[in-house]
């Protein structure tokens, strides 16, 4: 990967999973990456449980805002990662992307129960996103849901 690699994380609401992906890549990728996130039906705010879960691992996403996918029309990205099945069905490929990868991840915003039970789900998704982002950083490859690497 030469220069700064531009990565866009996409989900429906842009409130949890895509925000966590953007936060991890921005924090861990340093100057090598430009990290962005967007949604097709944006939420009003970043979900408080996502903010809390990321703060637990030392990453502050409280200032991030949900973005509409239309903000990125006409822009090019090296990698677009869809993180939910709904957005994959509605937007299977982002045309401005060199590579498209899908990560089928449960939506922590839909978790049920008391806050601690919902946090368990949010932490599990956070940790899976971190694992995949760290793999990208270590190898220059994004794993798809079948575990197949996509080189950038």
Residue 122 host element (H or E): helix 115-139
Q: Torsion angle of alpha carbons 100, 73, 95, 91, nearest 10°? A: 70
Residue-number span of the structural domain to which 129 is assigned: 5-146
Segment 50-68 shows an average pLDDT of 97
Q: Is residue 43 part of a domain?
A: yes
Number of domains in the chain: 1
Residue 125 vs residues 14, 16, 136: alpha-carbon distances, Å: 14, 9, 17
pLDDT at 29: 96
Domain containing residue 112: CATH number: 3.40.50.2300
CB atoms near residue 63 (< 10 Å): 7
Catalytic residue among 91, 124, 143, 152: 91
Q: 113-144 pLDDT, tens per residue?
A: 999 999 999 999 999 999 999 999 999 999 88
Number of H-type helices and E-type strands within the chain: 4, 6
Q: Is residue 67 part of a domain?
A: yes
Q: Is residue 132 part of a domain?
A: yes
16 included as an active-site residue: no
Catalytic residue among 54, 84, 87, 136: 84
**What pTM was estimated for this model as a whole?**
0.92
Catalytic residue among 8, 10, 11, 61: 11
Q: What six digits make up the tokens of 70?
A: 């239309």
């Amino acid at each position: 990967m030469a220069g700064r690699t531009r990565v866009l994380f996409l989900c429906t609401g842009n409130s949890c999973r895509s925000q966590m992906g953007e936060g991890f890549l921005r924090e861990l990728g340093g100057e090598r990456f430009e990290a962005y996130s967007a949604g097709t039906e944006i939420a009003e705010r970043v979900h408080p449980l996502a903010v809390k879960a990321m703060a637990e691992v030392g990453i502050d996403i409280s200032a991030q805002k949900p973005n509409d996918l239309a903000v990125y029309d006409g822009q090019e990205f090296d990698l677009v990662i869809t993180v939910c099945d709904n957005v994959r069905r509605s937007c299977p490929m982002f045309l401005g992307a060199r590579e498209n990868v899908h990560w089928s991840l449960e939506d922590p915003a839909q978790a049920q129960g008391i806050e601690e039970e919902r946090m368990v789900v949010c932490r599990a998704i956070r940790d899976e996103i971190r694992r995949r982002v760290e793999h990208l950083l270590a190898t220059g490859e994004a794993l798809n849901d079948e575990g197949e690497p996509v080189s950038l």
